[in-house]
């Protein structure tokens, strides 16, 4: 039998073919099975639209919500000031110049209606008393003369013109007596005249003395300057100054929360009065809210801030996190198709808590990115 011998070149060729066969098998298996995952882009730009691929990690990061119309009562804040009730505050003056004889009430003293506050010795008061006395005497004389002329006329002794003259004299004396008496009453004189020319000023309301500008013995010659101020501060007003742009949002009965600089806790009130005219200098209108103040916590002159709720209206509210700032513009990303978004520029209104009103740029029912939308702002 002949022995077969395999040479070295043939062996090498056989090994090469085996290697190629294994490589081919490997390529076949790779194509037959699942290909290795390639890098997936997180975000794809398609013109003005942004598309998030299926394998993008952004799908797990973003939160998308629909927005609906709801009732909105936007708050707005106005500067305010505590004021005394004008109907419960009286600034008292001396009706005539004179020397202050006595002051019966001091600062902080409680006052009842009719209590004597101060007395002034005024020379003109004595003159007014004398004029009243003369007018009363002339009236008495004219009354007696008229009665006498009427008796004579009944006896056909007096002429008719004498009766008429007596009647005219009586009417003139009566008018003068009324004028003199009214003058004394205006000056604060009690019935029976004003002996010695002394003016006694009494309080027209109950309250406390909150201002005193003179002392006993001083000469007071300014009839327009208040010598003493009496106020009832058991009721006060907090007055806010509203600008013209706020006028459409104001109405009587509107609820308000007042934060005073002096006290940490706010107080709640209600608008009772809205001014009919704007201040010519500040271009603002007064908004007054009454408050009970029996404990005296609210003192006229205190500074405060009044937060009022505007008239309720239908609108759109979105979370602040949904608004993306791009330069000077505010934008939100709106889902136009599943996982496809467009940037929409917004016009914003008032901020209410963690939300903000959208005046334009969105429609009810649209879905927007409400969380991590900044990831799309590339």
- Do residues 201 and 123 share a domain? yes
Write the DSSP assignment of 290-309 as a string of letters.
Answer: EEE-TT--S-TT-EEEEEEE
- Identify whether the C-beta of residue 126 lies closer than 8 Å to the C-beta of residue 197: yes
Question: Does an H or E element contain 256, and which?
Answer: strand 255-260
Q: Please check whether residue 12 lies inside any domain of the structure.
A: no
8 within some domain? no
Sequence-ordered list of residues with C-beta below 8 angstroms from that of 92, at least 6 positions apart, any chain: 117, 201, 203, 226, 227, 228, 229, 230
Same domain for 199 and 98, yes or no, is yes
CATH number of the domain where residue 159 is located:
2.40.50.100
pLDDT at residue 341, as a whole number:
94
296 lies in the same domain as 332: no
Give ∠ CA 210-215-219 in degrees, rounded to 5: 125
Instruction: Mark whether 185 and 122 lie in a shared domain.
Output: yes
Tally of domains in the chain = 3
Same domain, 293 and 351: no
CA dihedral of residues 42, 44, 45, 49 (deg, nearest 10):
-90
Residues 242 and 209 in one domain: no
The domain boundary residue, chosen from 251, 286, 309: 309
Tokens of 186: 């205006």
Structural domain includes residue 44: no
Residue 4, domain member (yes or no): no
Q: Give the pLDDT score at 236.
A: 96
Q: Please give the residue range of the domain that contains residue 354.
A: 49-71+313-376
- Residue 43: what pLDDT? 87
Q: Is residue 356 part of a domain?
A: yes
Q: What is the dihedral of CA 212, 214, 220, 222, to 10 degrees?
A: -40
Q: Is residue 58 part of a domain?
A: yes
pLDDT for the residue 190:
56
Q: Report if residue 280 sits inside a domain.
A: yes
Q: Does 268 share its domain with 177?
A: no
Question: Quick one: pLDDT at residue 32?
Answer: 40
With tokens 């702002």, the residue in question is 377
Burial class of residue 290 (count of CB atoms within 10 Å of its CB; 0-12, 13-18, 19+): middle
Regarding whether 372 and 303 lie in a shared domain, the answer is no
Pick the last residue of a domain from 258, 291, 309: 309
Instruction: Quote the tokens at residue 265.
Output: 């806790």
Amino acid 14: pLDDT: 34
Please report, for the domain that includes residue 267, its CATH number: 2.40.30.170
List the structure tokens of 197: 């020319």
Give the CATH number for residue 352: 2.40.420.20
Instruction: Report how far apart, in Å, the C-alpha atoms of 323 and of each of 51, 85, 86, 357 are.
Output: 19, 46, 48, 11
**Taking Cα atoms as reference points, which of 356, 371, 238 lies closest to residue 308?**
238
Phi, psi at 45, each rounded to 5°:
-90, 125
**pLDDT confidence of residue 158:** 66
Answer yes or no: is 24 within a domain.
no
Is residue 205 packed enough to be buried (19+ CB in 10 Å), middle (13-18) or exposed (0-12)?
A: middle
> Could you tell me if 244 and 217 lie in one domain?
no
313 is written with which tokens? 């209206």
**Averages of pLDDT over each 10 residues, the chain, 378 residues:** 36 34 36 49 89 90 93 92 94 88 93 93 81 89 89 77 87 91 75 61 93 91 90 95 92 94 93 94 94 93 94 92 91 94 93 92 94 84
Same domain, 101 and 215: yes
Among 206, 225, 244, identify where a domain stops. Answer: 225
Based on the fold, state whether residues 256 and 294 are members of the same structural domain: yes
Residues 124, 164, single domain; the answer is: yes
pLDDT of residue 159: 76
Instruction: Detail the DSSP E strand segments found in 148-231.
Output: 198-202, 207-212, 219-220, 228-231
Per-residue CA distances from 188 to 3, 99, 102, 137, 185 (Å) = 159, 16, 16, 22, 5
Q: Distance between CA atoms of 329 and 331, rounded to whole angstroms?
A: 6
Distances (CA, A) of 129 to 216, 221, 345: 24, 20, 83
């Amino acid at each position: 039998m002949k022995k077969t011998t395999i040479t070295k070149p043939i062996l090498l060729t056989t090994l090469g073919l085996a290697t190629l066969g294994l490589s081919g098998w490997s390529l076949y298996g790779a194509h037959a099975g699942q290909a290795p995952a390639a890098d997936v882009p997180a975000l794809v730009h398609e013109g003005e639209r942004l598309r998030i691929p299926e394998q993008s990690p952004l799908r797990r990061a973003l939160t998308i919500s629909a927005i609906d119309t709801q009732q909105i009562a936007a708050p707005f804040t106005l500067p305010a000031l505590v004021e005394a009730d004008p109907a419960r505050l009286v600034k008292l003056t001396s009706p005539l110049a004179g020397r202050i004889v006595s002051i019966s009430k001091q600062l902080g003293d409680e006052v009842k209606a009719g209590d004597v506050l101060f007395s002034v010795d005024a020379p003109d008061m004595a003159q007014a008393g004398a004029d009243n006395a003369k007018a009363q005497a002339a009236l008495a004389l004219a009354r007696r003369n008229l009665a006498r002329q009427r008796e004579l006329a009944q006896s056909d002794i007096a002429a008719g013109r004498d009766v008429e003259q007596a009647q005219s004299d009586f009417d003139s004396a009566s008018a003068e007596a009324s004028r003199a008496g009214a003058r004394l009453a205006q000056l604060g004189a009690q019935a029976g005249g004003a002996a010695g020319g002394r003016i006694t000023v009494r309080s027209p309301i109950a309250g406390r003395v909150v201002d005193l500008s003179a002392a006993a013995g001083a000469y007071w010659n300014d009839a327009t300057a208040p010598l003493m101020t009496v106020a009832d501060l058991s009721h006060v007003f907090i007055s806010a100054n509203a600008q013209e742009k706020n006028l459409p949002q104001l109405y009587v009965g509107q609820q308000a929360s007042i934060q005073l600089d002096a006290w940490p806790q706010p107080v709640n009130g209600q608008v009772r009065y809205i001014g009919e005219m704007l201040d010519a200098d500040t271009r603002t209108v007064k908004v007054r809210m009454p408050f009970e103040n029996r404990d005296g916590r609210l003192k006229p002159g205190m500074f405060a801030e009044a937060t009022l709720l505007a008239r309720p209206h239908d609108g759109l509210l979105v979370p602040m996190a949904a608004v993306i700032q791009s330069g000077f513009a505010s934008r939100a990303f709106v889902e136009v198709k599943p996982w496809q978004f467009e940037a929409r520029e917004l016009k914003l209104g008032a901020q209410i808590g963690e939300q903000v009103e959208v005046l334009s740029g969105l429609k009810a029912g649209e879905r927007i990115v409400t969380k991590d939308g900044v990831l799309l702002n590339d």
